[in-house]
Amino acid sequence: MKAAVLYGKEELNIETDFENPVMKNSDVLIQSKYGGLCSTDRSLYRGFVPFQPPLIIGHEISGIVKEVGKSAKGLDVGDHVIIPPVYPGCEDESCSSCKEGLTNRCKKSVFIGHGVHGGDAEFIAIPSRYTFKINQSVPLDEACIIPDAVSTPFHALKSRSIPPHILRNTANPKQLFDQKSHWLHGKNIVVFGVGGVGGPTVNLAARYFKAKNVVAVDIFDNKLELAKKLGATHTINSKAFYEDKNLAIKELAGKEKAKAISELAKHISSYLTEDKFQVDCVVDCSGVPETFPLAVETTSKNRIIVQVGWPPKPVSEFLNQKIMDKYLTINGTWACPMNEMKEIVTAVENKQVDLNLLVTNKDYTLDRLENAIQDLEVGKILGRAAIAIK
């Protein structure tokens, strides 16, 4: 079969005779039609993260069921499907994480396109129980971003955004997780970084979780323009803010740097005057460690920060005193548990997610995957790119 195979740092081959996947009885064989391009693919390509070669990359996959295993259930040949990039590898979801509902944190997690062969190939075999059918009205060149770019911020907003003391002091905590009565409904959210994951975060916060205000912060005006289309009520170019004040933020340190960050945080919350400058939730999708001190400054007392973007290096200034004083909750998040995937699919089928805006590039094929990675690096891909597996 044809496949994008990584053999080492920047050694990506598009092969035409790579071995076909071996199906288990509980698997379905999927013909991959499109793959979403993620920064993780770039990290693998550049050798930033370890992997065992040869590796077929790609973990955002949409496709069509071509064969159903003897014991596979719930799917038929011809069904349109998506595959979560991370699914449980323990038997019968028996590990402690799975039993606690965190199937995305299974102790034997399978990470396609990283730990095992991914979907940037003609075919991939996946357990049927972790393959999700999607209505054929949803274009496959848009559906491919659902497994990661949409599901990751969906989980972050749905399940990781509620401060613990709110849960403890609510008569019916379950209602805080339901869409119509979700805690974020009518709240103020700030999203740092409007890229492949930040864009869906803005869109979901505004359209699905019905936040009152969604403030998008980035350093590129074109991304902020996209954020407005996705539902942002306010946008801020943080780079322009510092430049207007003649502040070289990267050259500042100590009290001067802290003051500059505080000024930007106040500017962000200044758009929320009618709510007494209240920032209920900050979602950091930037993947830039320098954003974390700003997130701490921006978040209001007794509220929450959700870390979605993967920083390549540690935060140099960890403001633990500020975190204590503001009584903040800092939540990490990773992928999406299986029990939320069907809700995401339903949201997409009900047109509550603007996939047509989020997928900004559809002209790449598997033969041009390397070009797509390079374009992602230099900012030519505004949102998410779909790679046609041909």
pLDDT computed for residue 2 by the predictor: 97
Q: What is the pLDDT of residues 76-126, one digit of tens each?
A: 999 999 999 999 999 789 999 999 999 999 999 999 999 999 999 999 999
Residues 365/369/374/379 CA torsion (nearest 10 deg): 50
**176 has pLDDT over 90:** yes
**47 has pLDDT over 90:** yes
pLDDT computed for residue 120 by the predictor: 98
**318 has pLDDT over 80:** no
Q: What's the rounded Cα separation, in Å, for the pair 366 and 3?
A: 8
CB of 156 within 8 A of CB of 202?
A: no
| Domain range 161-332, CATH class | alpha beta
Q: What is the pLDDT of residues 180-221, one digit of tens each?
A: 999 999 999 999 999 999 999 999 999 999 999 999 999 999
Task: Tell which residue, 370, 387, 376, has the closest CA to residue 122.
Answer: 387
Run of H or E residues at 347: helix 341-349
**250 has pLDDT over 90:** no
Q: What is the pLDDT of residues 268-307, one digit of tens each?
A: 999 999 999 999 999 999 989 889 999 999 999 999 999 9
Q: Is 237 exposed, middle or buried (0-12, 13-18, 19+ CB in 10 A)?
A: middle
How confident is the model over 25-34, as a mean pLDDT? 98
pLDDT computed for residue 311 by the predictor: 79
Task: Tell which residue, 120, 141, 128, 114, has the closest CA to residue 1.
Answer: 120
Q: What's the rounded Cα separation, in Å, for the pair 280 and 189?
A: 6
Q: What's the rounded Cα separation, in Å, for the pair 387 and 363?
A: 7
Task: Tell which residue, 215, 315, 197, has the closest CA to residue 270.
Answer: 215
**317 has pLDDT over 70:** no
Residue 3, classed as helix, strand or coil, is strand
Hey, what are 385's tokens?
């790119």
DSSP conformation class of 205: I
pLDDT computed for residue 320 by the predictor: 81
Phi and psi at residue 299, in whole multiples of 5°?
-70, 135
**315 has pLDDT over 80:** no
Please compute Rg for the chain using Cα positions.
21
pLDDT computed for residue 324 by the predictor: 94
Hey, what are 219's tokens?
């350093």
| 211-to-153, 157, 177, 214, 376 alpha-carbon distances in Å | 14, 11, 14, 7, 30
Model confidence band, residue 390 (pLDDT cutoffs 50, 70, 90) = confident
User: How far out from the chain centre does Cα 111 lie?
Assistant: 15
Q: What's the rounded Cα separation, in Å, for the pair 123 and 107?
A: 26
DSSP conformation class of 136: T
pLDDT computed for residue 358 by the predictor: 98
CB of 109 within 8 A of CB of 98?
A: no
Adjacent-strand bridge partners of 156: none
Q: Which part of the chain is CATH 3.90.180.10?
A: 3-147+336-388
Look over the chain and give the mean of its residue pLDDT values, rounded to a whole number: 95
How confident is the model over 135-156, as a mean pLDDT? 98
How confident is the model over 257-262, as a mean pLDDT? 93
Q: Which part of the chain is CATH 3.40.50.720?
A: 161-332
Hey, what are 25's tokens?
């009885």
Residue 306, classed as helix, strand or coil, is strand
Hey, what are 49's tokens?
């993260």
Q: What is the pLDDT of residues 348-367, one digit of tens each?
A: 999 999 999 999 999 999 99
Report the CATH superfamily, name and number, of domain 3-147+336-388: Medium-chain alcohol dehydrogenases, catalytic domain (3.90.180.10)
Render the burial of 297-322: b for 16+ CB within 10 Å, e for the rest. Answer: bbbbeebbbbbbbeeeeeeeeebeee
- Kindly report the pTM of this predicted structure: 0.96
CB of 146 within 8 A of CB of 82?
A: yes
pLDDT computed for residue 127 by the predictor: 96
